[in-house]
A and B are shown apart, each in its own frame.
Chain A
Amino acid sequence: MSAHGNTYVPKSGIAKWFESRLPLVGLVHSSFVAFPVPRNLNYFWTFGAILIAFLGIQIITGVWLAMHYQPSATEAFDSVEHIMRDVNYGWLLRYAHANGASMFFVAVYVHIFRNLYYGSYKAPREVLYILGVVIYLLMMATAFLGYTLPWGQMSFWGATVITNILAAIPVVGDTIQSLLWGGYSVGNPTVNRFFSLHFLLPWMIAGVVVLHVWALHVTGQNNPAGIPIKSSKDAVPFTPYATVKDVFATVVFMILFAWFIFYQPNYLGHADNYIPANPAVTPAHIVPEWYFLPFYAILRAVPSKLGGVILMFSAVIILALAPWLDTSRVRSSNYRPIYRQFFWVFVGVCFLLGWLGAKPPEGGYVIAAQICTAYYFAHFLIVMPLCGLFETPTKLPGSILESVTGPGKQVSGAGMPAGAAAAPTTKG
């Protein structure tokens, strides 16, 4: 699978001179031009590119917002309103950044569920997958820190609730809390350091993304059939096939993004965050951003503070164990009739947890959240190990090509060209 060598041949004198000193163009060529891509990839495989686009959008809009933002408890709220009212296109930068975070999470959830459905986490892609979980954790931390910066009521109370969650950690909890606060409570030093960390973490995400893409290019991509590339006919070159498909999907996704920015810029936010932070009054109904709701429901499902905190973190950490909890060697759920049904129940439970996370923690909502939390963990700890042992998978196609054309048929298409000379890009 990693059999793609460096097929780049520099033509001009300058290109040869540079390539012999730093083979950068060759690296890009082998990774993003000649790289063999399974020919049966569907549109769910374009979300990696969409995620990279959003990382870029968040970093660029964020750096521009930082030119106008004041990270202090007395000025933060006013400086955000200053961005909205006085700065040229400040409203656009801020709405793009705020809704960009939500779109980032939409894309990452599609990416994660795609991974779970098609078994992309299984050998040999465990490291690639765990790096993805690390990116997801960093995204959550970054999103939380960013949400505190406007210093409205939800910002302040979100920061208070989350730092109090960390204080539940035995022994070191209070020290961690004090180091995060920089004081005796959430206040000016807190917003200042949260701004610094919010600026730092995206670059760490970018670093792990490089490792994630590197690991992807070592193992190659999984695909809807879940079987490896066996011959050049199973693959097509990354450029133009995957490049154009990725760009097309990204553009379509941007329509959704633009709709939110221009028509519903505050739909995913909370009105309470337009009230300046007030440490004496908690908003009547305090909920996190939508992308944290399932975890918030898990936190509140347990009547014990430490227990809820442990379960909430476990809900993310358990994702990283999936490669070893799943005992089936068949990757794609397309060929797993029993597991496929459990998978969709799991998706339903995740949505239900999200809905419950937005409800007040009382009566039937708590009981429903407890049942859903139990099922969430059961999916990983019971369904994944047992399904693999007892399920009979349906017959896998002989090759990726066969999964596209049907068994026994020949294909006239080129598939993977033998050398760089055959790369379609050179023909314009």
Chain B
Amino acid sequence: MANTTAAAPAGAAPQEGTRRDFLFLATGAGLAVGAGAVAWPFVSSMAPDAATIAAGAPIEVDLSPISDGQIINVFWRGKLIFVRKLTGKEITDMKAVPLADLADKATFDSRVKSGHDQWLVVYGNCTHLGCVPIGHQGNYEGWACPCHGSQFDAVGRVRRGPAPINLPIPPYAFQSDTKLRIGEEGGKAAA
């Protein structure tokens, strides 16, 4: 090599910060940053794509054909959502459940929108491993999961394990008394 300054002469006392040290560190740092920069697009490309996100726009549900006690299935973002019209008895029973009986404590009022006591909107996949609980089964006027035996009550609160939490509530708002918009709450789009 014509450039001899890079190598310290043999036998010389160890010298701090040679050009070789600098090149070693700069190369290492460049490689680490480069590897991260290259890995990022590969990982990011696996995230939900623009078309999938666009297809996840809010949906509208017409409530007028649903009769008392009926549960209907709707899909938003590929996820199953139960819309249930509670009967008067179910509302009374659910309001009477003491919080101490619940694994994931939630009042009746926190499960519905105020002024719309009759309507329950919850995700339709069991919070254990995602199976679909069957409606009007189990001991709590709600749902029973066929996979691992979890039971939910009429407002989707877990009453028997192994499901750890209540059926989650998707973002939704009432457009009118008979029209529901799922995927948006108070004019704010869901993340």
Contact = CB atoms under 8 A, between A and B. Distances in A.
B149 A362 contact: yes
B77 interface: yes
Given A179-B47, A304-B164, A184 B131 contact: no
Interface string A281-308: 1111110000000000000100111001
A266 B66 CA distance: 42
A279 interface: yes
Given A185-B79, A279-B75, A282-B145, 20 more contacts: A157-B130, A157-B131, A161-B131, A163-B130, A164-B128, A164-B129, A182-B49, A182-B52, A183-B48, A183-B52, A184-B77, A187-B52, A189-B48, A193-B46, A283-B146, A285-B146, A286-B131, A286-B146, A305-B162, A361-B148
Please report whether the interface of chain B is mostly helix, strand, loop or mixed according to DSSP: loop
Interface in A150-198: 157, 160-161, 163-165, 178-187, 189, 193
A302 B162 CA distance: 9
Contacts of B78: 183-187, 279
Interface of A: 157, 160-161, 163-165, 178-187, 189, 193, 279-286, 300, 303-305, 308, 360-362
B161 interface: yes
Please report whether the interface of chain A is mostly helix, strand, loop or mixed according to DSSP: loop
Nearest to A362: B149
A161 B80 contact: no
Contact of B132 (A178, A280, A304, A308): A280
Of A157, A184, A303, A304, the most chain B CB neighbours within 10 A belong to A184
A161 B49 contact: no
B168 interface: no
Interface residues on B, range: 20 to 34
A160 B128 CA distance: 11
Interface of B: 43, 46-49, 52, 56, 73, 75, 77-80, 124-125, 128-132, 145-149, 161-164
17 contacts: A161-B131, A164-B128, A164-B129, A165-B129, A182-B48, A183-B52, A183-B56, A184-B48, A184-B77, A184-B79, A279-B75, A279-B78, A279-B132, A282-B145, A285-B146, A286-B146, A305-B162
B129 A160 contact: yes
B80 A280 contact: yes
Contacts of B43: 179
B129 A161 contact: yes
B47 to A, nearest CB: 6
Nearest to A167: B130
